[in-house]
């Protein structure tokens, strides 16, 4: 499936129906009076999260969305039917912006979440509504109110607990394929992963977490180089990072510089990313030269406060220890979120 994470669509809620101009006409009842009914209200536009969706691909093939208009009023005081509301399904993690102003209108991050984004126009009143003691035969009706109309920009940010970052060919795709059912493309040349991949990693019986394989970053990614900022947005919602470092001869240059380069690009894109927990993964331990270099470089990472996990996703060595560490960090974070007070800035001792 083609991965699409940003689109523009034209959306319009339904117009209200027109009020009816009508007078009662029945045998033996002269001057029956006005009996024009009201027009129906236009349909609303709702956005709802559908867990079955993982991309905005459908919006590439259909860009115009319009809710049903309200029916016009009729004689004999018959009101028009309200227009059907339009439900637009989007994947979890979709942000909705006004394309013209840039205003964020909604951030849909919960499965099943829905939001009324655009209300339909009100139906117009028929002439029966305007009858008074001094105006027994009004010929005035109201047209229906127009619905709202907007050009929206939909942006998808994947929701994952763990994000894999690192230079191209650092072993991210191999790792996610070894611990989950995800099957990204794996090859020995740069940029084999061209779209983010999500995998569900089981642990501890029936528990699991979601891991995201983000396409390889390079120096200047925050400015658009390589795959650029195209996929950097997808790491913003992860709870922690696995920073994969390749010590094999496939990677040119100093691994320390490569590590600093990735962190620099993350900080340039969003400084808050550097505050997230990072676990350093020294990949490809099935290669002899990598195991030898690991003992030399591991102390450098540990001196800076990083937890280091040497592993081989091919043989599985070191993978269980990494999964256990991730599970402990995520569960501790979730417990802290449950016990955190609603307002962390509130100090009972003040005032």
DSSP string spanning 65-127? EEPPPPPPPBTTTBPPPPPPPEEEEE-TTEEEEETTT--EEEEE-STT-EEEEEPPPPPPPPG
- Sign of the alpha-carbon dihedral angle for 261, 249, 216, 272: negative
Residue 208: what pLDDT?
86
333 shares a domain with 243: yes
Asked if 264 and 152 sit in the same domain, the reply is no
β-pairing, 149-156 vs 6-12, is: antiparallel
Tell me, what CATH number does 205's domain have? 3.40.50.300
Same domain, 144 and 170: no
Same domain, 88 and 139: yes
Q: Is residue 213 part of a domain?
A: yes
Where does a domain end: 156, 175, 205? 156
Q: Do 149 and 167 share a structural domain?
A: no
- Taking residues 97-103, what's their average pLDDT? 94
Residues 9 and 35 in one domain: yes
What is the value of pTM for the model shown?
0.72
Residues 151 and 172 in one domain: no
Same structural domain for residues 193 and 135? no
What CATH number corresponds to the domain at position 71? 2.70.210.12
97 in a domain, yes or no? yes
pLDDT of 349 above 60: no
Residue 270 inside a domain? The answer is yes
pLDDT-based confidence at residue 84 (cuts at 50, 70, 90): very high
pLDDT at 60: 86
Rounded mean pLDDT, 279-298:
90
What residue numbers bound the domain in which 171 lies? Answer: 162-339
The whole-number average pLDDT for the span 50-65 is 88
Residue 349 lies in a domain: no
Share of the chain above pLDDT 90, in %: 43
Which of the 8 DSSP states describes residue 274? Answer: G
In a domain, 350, yes or no: no
Q: Looking at the predicted structure, is the pLDDT value of residue 228 above 50?
A: no
CA atoms within 13 A on the CB side of 181: 4
Domain boundary residue, one of 136, 156, 176: 156
Q: Are 3 and 38 in contact (CB under 8 A)?
A: no
For residue 33, the model assigns a pLDDT of 87
Say if residues 239 and 162 touch (Cβ distance below 8 Å): yes
| pLDDT above 80 (res 205) | no
* Per-residue confidence (pLDDT) for residue 189, from 0 to 100: 38
- pLDDT: is 53 or 17 the higher one? 17
Render the burial of 149-166: b for 16+ CB within 10 Å, e for the rest.
Answer: ebebbbbbbbbbbbbbbb
Domain boundary among 124, 156, 188: 156
Q: What is the pLDDT of residues 206-220, one digit of tens each?
A: 788 888 887 756 554
Work out the mean pLDDT of the chain and round it to a whole number.
Answer: 84
Calculated CA dihedral for residues 146, 152, 158, 163, nearest 10 degrees: -150
* Domain annotation covers residue 78: yes
Structural domains of the chain, count: 2
């Amino acid at each position: 499936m083609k991965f699409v994470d940003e689109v523009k669509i034209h959306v319009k809620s339904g117009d209200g129906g027109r009020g009816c101009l009508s007078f009662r006409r029945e045998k033996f009842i002269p001057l029956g009076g006005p009996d024009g009914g009201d027009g129906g209200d236009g349909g609303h536009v709702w956005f709802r999260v559908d867990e079955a969706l993982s991309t905005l691909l459908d919006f590439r093939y259909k860009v115009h969305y319009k809710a049903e208009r309200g029916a016009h009023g009729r004689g004999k005081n018959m009101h028009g039917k309200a227009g059907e509301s339009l439900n637009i399904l989007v994947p979890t993690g979709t942000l909705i912006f006004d394309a013209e102003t840039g205003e964020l209108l909604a951030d849909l991050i919960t499965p099943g979440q829905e939001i009324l984004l655009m209300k339909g126009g009100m139906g117009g009143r028929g002439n029966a509504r305007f009858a008074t003691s001094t105006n027994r035969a009004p010929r005035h009706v109201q047209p229906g109110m127009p619905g709202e109309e907007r050009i929206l920009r939909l942006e998808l940010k994947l929701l994952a607990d763990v994000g894999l970052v690192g230079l191209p060919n650092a072993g991210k795709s191999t790792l996610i394929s070894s611990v989950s059912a995800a099957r990204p493309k794996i090859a020995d040349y740069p940029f084999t992963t061209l779209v983010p991949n999500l995998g569900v990693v089981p642990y501890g019986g029936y528990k699991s977490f979601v891991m995201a394989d983000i396409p390889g970053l390079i120096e200047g990614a925050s400015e658009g180089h390589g795959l650029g900022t195209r996929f950097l947005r997808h790491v913003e919602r992860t709870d922690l990072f696995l920073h994969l470092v390749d010590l094999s001869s496939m990677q040119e240059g100093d691994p320390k510089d490569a590590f600093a380069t990735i962190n620099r690009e993350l900080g340039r894109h969003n400084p808050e990313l550097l505050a997230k927990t990072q676990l350093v993964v020294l990949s490809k331990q099935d290669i002899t030269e990598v195991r030898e270099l690991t003992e030399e470089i591991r102390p450098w990472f540990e001196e800076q406060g990083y937890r280091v996990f040497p592993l081989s996703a091919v043989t599985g060595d070191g993978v269980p220890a990494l999964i256990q560490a991730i599970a402990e960090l995520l569960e501790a974070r979730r417990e802290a979120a449950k016990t955190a007070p609603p307002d962390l800035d509130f100090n009972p001792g003040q005032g």
